[in-house]
A = this chain, B = another copy of it.
C-alpha cells in the first residue's frame, strides 16, 4: 500500500517554515509498518493543487494532505479538492454548531470567513477538530482515500491521532507484521553510539533482519530498531533481541522507549517515588523550570525555582555571600554550592540543583571560557559539584545543561 503526504502552503514552498508535519506523519506511518512513498509540497495555487491531487490518485492509495484549511482567503484546499473530485460542497451543521460555541466561549464574533471552514465536500467524513477551528475530512476519489488536515501541527496531530490513526490501523490487519522500538538517549554523541553498535548493522546485513537507525535530535539521539517478519511475534522477538544487545552496550544513556520527554519521565518518576525538587538557575535562565512545568502534574513534585541572573539576586534571594562572588566569581564551585544551599533553605525540596555558567557568546575568559558551567546538587542531604564544558551556541548550551540536570534528578528517583 502506497501512502503519499501532500503539504499545501506558500510558507512551505518559500522556505519560510520548515515542514515538520511531513516527518511527523511519516514516522506515525512507519510505526504502523507502512512506508510512505511520496512527499509532495505545493503552493496555495489552484492549478498546482489540482495537479498534485490528480497525480497522487494515480500512484498512491492513501493520501494525507495538510494545510490550507484556515479561514483566510488563501486557504482554499477544500474548495479546490471538491472541484477536482467533482463533488459539491455543503455546510456541515455539526461544525457550524461547534464553531459557534468555540467563538462564543472566547467572546468573539464568528465571521463569514469562519463559516467557510464548515464547508466540506458532500458525502465526506468530517474529522472533528477539537484543537482549533478548521475540521478535517476524509474523501474517496477514484478508489483512493484522501485525508485533509489543518497545517497547524497541534491540530494536525490531534486529528490524525483521533480520526486517521484508527483508520490506518484497520488497514494493517492481515498483511504486515511489523515491530519497532525507539530508544531515546541523552549523553552520548551519535558517532560514539555508531562506533559501539556498528557491528549490528554493518554491510546492511542485520542481525535477525532488524534495521538499526539513528536520528539526531540534538542534544539527544534516538536509536530506532525495526523489523518485518512472518508473524508479529517473530518480529517483536527479533527487535527485543537486538534491543537487548543495544542496551547491554549503551543502556546507561537510554531514558525511555516511548513518546515521553526527559522532563516527563522525570516528573512521573518523582510522583511515583514521592520526591520533590527545586532549582536555582543562572545560565540556563529558567529553562529547566520551564521544561519541567511543560509536564501536566508537575505541580505535585516541582516546588519552584529561582532564576538568579544578576549577582545582586544571587545575594538577595539565594543568600550567596558577597565575598564568595568577589573571591571566586559567580561562575565557580563555591557560588554553585551556596546557590544550591540557598534554594534548599527556601524550599526544603528532596532534590535541589544549582547551575551557574557562561552561555556566551560573550562573557568568557581564558580561565573560564564560554561554555564553562558548574552544577551543584543537594540531594537527600548529600552535596556534590560538577564542572562541565559545552562550547556550543547559547540555546544548545542551555538545552544540554538543562538535560543534564533533568537526567540527574531522574536517576536519583529510580
Residue of B whose beta carbon sits closest to that of A30: B14
A73 touches B131 (CB 8 A): no
For A224, list chain B residues within 8 Å (CB): 14, 16
Main secondary structure of the interface of A (DSSP, over half): mixed
Interface size class, chain A: 35 or more
A304 with B296: in contact, given A42-B37, A74-B213 (CB under 8 Å)?
no
Most chain B C-beta atoms within 10 Å of own C-beta, residue among A40, A204, A305: A305
Which of A81-89, A195-203, A252-260, A377-385 makes up part of the contact surface? A195-203
How close is A22's CB to chain B, nearest CB, in angstroms? 7
Q: Is A391 an interface residue (CB 8 A)?
A: yes
How close is A97's CB to chain B, nearest CB, in angstroms? 18
Residue of B36, B37, B43, B347 near A313 (CB, 8 A) is B347
Footprint of B on A, CB under 8 Å? Answer: 7, 10-20, 22-30, 35-43, 45, 48, 51-52, 55, 59, 70-74, 105-106, 108, 111, 113-114, 131, 152, 154, 189-191, 194-195, 198, 201-202, 204, 213-218, 222, 224, 278-279, 281, 283-290, 292-294, 296-299, 302-310, 312-313, 316-317, 346-347, 359-363, 389, 391, 393-396, 398
Chain A to chain B contacts (Cβ below 8 Å), 12 pairs: A13-B37, A15-B27, A16-B215, A17-B216, A72-B198, A74-B214, A284-B290, A286-B289, A289-B307, A290-B398, A297-B362, A299-B310
